[in-house]
Structure 1
Amino acid sequence: MIGTKGAQTSARLVESMLELIQARGYSGTGLNTVVEHARAPKGSLYFHFPEGKEALGEKAVELAAERFRALVVESALEPGSPGDVVRRVIGVLDGMLADSDFELGCPVSVVTLEMGAQSERLRDACANAFGSWIDPLAEYLAAQGHPAAAARTLATAVVSTVEGAMILSRAQRSTEPLRCAADVIAALLDRPLTGERLA
């Protein structure tokens, strides 16, 4: 029971860190605020994360990566074209932004921009997160008939485009950039496969 309670406290701390990074950024998130937000006992943070804020931030990035990867995988399992898959994923992101009044962005891009040059640990966590989104999308596109190299190129371009659209949408307080990204990506992915493929 103690182990279970401890695991629950650790999970709440990670969840709170993730939510606060989305709303305030990594640098704007203090550890005391995380503990209060998680309603965790004082001292629990360093008990579960003795290496401090970077360790907690790393786990938050991993949690965000896991959730978005699951979204990509689940969307790919539903019927429809590759463009439909991407539209479903972007639709979820569109809803998240609108529902939060454009306060919640992608925590992985936030941590990358803030800490990528300062913390190798967090930069690696973010690189792994992006990779965990590109990989299943590349596998899906390869299964749709694209050569492996071309599938990975397309998947990388899709993730890059969506991340950029998320940033623009937050800045403009409009989901139009995301909708534009969805239209362009869907048109690209749904065009018939021909001999002229990406190398």
Structure 2
Amino acid sequence: MADTKGARTSARLVESMLELIQTRGYSGTGLNTVVAHASAPKGSLYFHFPGGKEALGEKAVELAADRFRALVSAGGTPGEVVGGVLAALARLLEEGDYQLGCPVSVVTLEMGAESDRLRTACANAFESWVAPLAARMVAHGRSEEEARSLATAAVSMVEGAVIMSRAQRSVAPLRCAADTLTPLLDRP
């Protein structure tokens, strides 16, 4: 995307939507709040996102997916990668006083039954994390079927550990997930 004033405004709106979903949820995030948070003119919202809140939410989910995919695509063994992801999530939760959650799981839980557009964006986000992790396991000697199954289970466990950590205000569930997943994923 070109670095124009419009592109920067659009990016600020998406970033603001993402941050607000993490702290307030999708349903608790109003468009006026997004516009104010982004310091953007209200008219720019519908100019850049004629589909309104749903379109903006979709882009926020895509941004979250891209950021998490970068973590999942880091170097190392499958266990090291997942261990690094869990450590990064633990830092994020602690630094954010357990107020930040995974925006993809939040949108899935809140809107998955109401909006096919958002459900599809969330499904694509999860797949974008499972696929590179599975590919890494295949590269480390697992069959494609086993790698796919383990990658799906690992992403599911990570998501659950984030939710439990927020509820308990402790990173202990994330550490338990790391202790379980790291050796399991690196086993030949």
Normalising by structure 1, we get a TM-score of 0.91
User: Distance between the aligned counterparts of 1:55 and 1:84, measured in 2?
Assistant: 35
Structure 1 gap ranges (5+): 194-199
Matches within 5 A, 1:50-89: 50-74=50-74, 77-78=75-76, 81-89=77-85
Give yes or no for the alignment of 1:172 onto 2:168: yes
Give yes or no for the alignment of 1:190 onto 2:183: no
Give 2:120's aligned residue.
Answer: 124
User: Distance between the aligned counterparts of 1:3 and 1:31, measured in 2?
Assistant: 24
* Partner SS, residue 73 of structure 2: helix
The code of the aligned residue for 1:37 comes to H
Give yes or no for the alignment of 1:142 onto 2:142: no
User: Distance between the aligned counterparts of 1:71 and 1:186, measured in 2?
Assistant: 15
User: Distance between the aligned counterparts of 2:104 and 2:82, measured in 1?
Assistant: 19
**Distance apart, 1:189 and its partner CA:** 1.5
| CA offsets 1:137-195 (integer angstroms, 9 cap, x no match) | 0000000000011100010000000000000000111000000001011121133x2xx
* Partner SS, residue 124 of structure 1: helix
Give 1:42's aligned residue.
Answer: 42
Q: Percent identity?
A: 71
Normalising by structure 2, we get a TM-score of 0.97
* Partner SS, residue 43 of structure 1: helix
User: Distance between the aligned counterparts of 2:146 and 2:98, measured in 1?
Assistant: 34
User: Distance between the aligned counterparts of 1:187 and 1:137, measured in 2?
Assistant: 15
Structure 2 gap ranges (5+): none
* Partner SS, residue 4 of structure 2: helix
Aligned residue pairs total: 187
Give 1:197's aligned residue.
Answer: none
- Whether the 8 Å contact between 2:73 and 2:81 is mirrored in structure 1 is no
Deviates more, 1:182-191 or 1:31-40: 182-191
Structure 1 ranges of 4+ moved more than 6 A: none
Give 1:158's aligned residue.
Answer: 154
* Partner SS, residue 182 of structure 2: helix
Which has the higher Rg, Structure 1 or Structure 2?
Answer: 1
* Partner SS, residue 125 of structure 2: helix
- Given candidates 99, 106, 109, the residue that maps to 1:110 is 106
User: Distance between the aligned counterparts of 2:53 and 2:3, measured in 1?
Assistant: 22
**Distance apart, 1:84 and its partner CA:** 1.8
* Partner SS, residue 71 of structure 1: helix
**Distance apart, 1:85 and its partner CA:** 1.8
